[in-house]
Amino acid sequence: MKIPTICRYCGGKVILTDSSKIYGKDYGKIYLCTNCNASTGVHKNSEKPLGTLANSILRTKRKETHQVFDRFWKEKKMSRTQGYKWLSKQMGLPFRATHIGCFEIEECQKVIDLCNKAA
């Protein structure tokens, strides 16, 4: 994933900073737009983004999607990797492109619908 330097929402400057700037508690590094607060987390001990920049609405939808998807693969007695392989097939995406942290609202809703239908 490409390291963001310009915000996709407002064109503002994106910086690598501590997550406590938006969460009030340190959860590790994040990329944060200095103008609109769009953000994405960072892989531990690296500067590699966990996903694409997300505004508060998209962050909320991604959290909901992860809750539904994580419950689904655990209830189906799958590993996380098996769950993502199932999801990539259902969505018609390459496995490496199947990452909730990169999904938009519509793709998140599709994940939720697929999991609910297959539950």
- Strand ranges across the sheet with 29-33: 14-18, 29-33, 39-41
Ordered DSSP codes for 8-19: TTT--BEEEEET
Q: Given this model, what pLDDT does residue 2 score?
A: 85
pLDDT tens-digit series, residues 40-65: 999 999 999 999 999 999 999 999 99
Q: CA angle at residue 60 from 55 to 62, to 5 degrees?
A: 95
Section 15-41 average pLDDT: 93
Q: Given this model, what pLDDT does residue 23 score?
A: 85
Are the CB atoms for 87 and 96 separated by under 8 Å?
Answer: no
Rg of the chain over Cα atoms, rounded to whole angstroms, equals 15
Q: Which own/partner contact pairs does 102-108 have at CB distance under 8 Å and 24+ positions apart?
A: 102/1, 102/51, 102/52, 103/62, 103/65, 104/58, 105/57, 105/58, 105/61, 108/58, 108/61, 108/62, 108/64, 108/65
pLDDT tens-digit series, residues 68-115: 999 999 999 999 999 999 999 999 999 999 999 999 999 999 999 999
Phi, psi of 17 (to 5 degrees): -150, 180
pLDDT tens-digit series, residues 3-24: 889 999 999 999 999 999 888 9
